[in-house]
Amino acid sequence: MKENMRKISIESITLHCSTADPNKLEKAVKLLKFITKATPVKTLAKKRIPAFKIRPGLPIGCKVTIRKNTAELLRALLAGVPKLKEKQFNPGFLSFGIKEYIEIPSLPYQREIGIMGFDVVVKLSRPGYRVEKRRRAKSKIGRRHRITKEETIEYFKNNFKVNIEK
């Protein structure tokens, strides 16, 4: 019998889209709102990059984090990705990109958005991870309780039936 505290679950899914063009940024906000039904937050530049006409404080992207009802959204997003590479997995994380949102079978083409892509980051956790983030009486998580890369890969193979190549 498996221990309750060793059970792995999805903590959050973050969708991120970045561009320096203000017109494309508005389309990116519409895209993330269309996919998640949640309001995205604009991300601001921190450095000056003259070649791309980026200065500090300029909105260059948007992101949205989903913490509840993540399984159905993740199943839809993974349907648009035929294979995942082993290097996309990290201890407790999975990161992948979707080049065009129309690759996802459940999402129809939206004329006002056009063709855009975005990045997806899935964070896994175990019960008890709160002790590292809480405000009072913080404590470290033991090495045996942390999620390894192999456990992350195994979780997605078992629960989402993804194809993983080396």
Predicted confidence (pLDDT) per residue in 143-156, tens digit? 999 999 999 999 99
Alpha-carbon dihedral sign for residues 55, 122, 71, 119: positive
Q: Radius of gyration of the chain from Cα atoms?
A: 18
Query: pTM (2 decimals)?
Result: 0.88
What pLDDT digit, counting tens, does each position of 115-125 carry? Answer: 999 999 999 99
* CA atoms lying within 13 Å on the CB side of residue 85: 4
Two structure tokens written together for 145: 């309780």
92, amino acid identity: G
Give the three-state DSSP class for 64: strand
Q: Which CATH class is domain 4-165?
A: alpha beta
Q: For 91-107, what is each residue's pLDDT tens digit? A: 999 999 999 988 888 88
The structure tokens listed for 41 are 């937050």
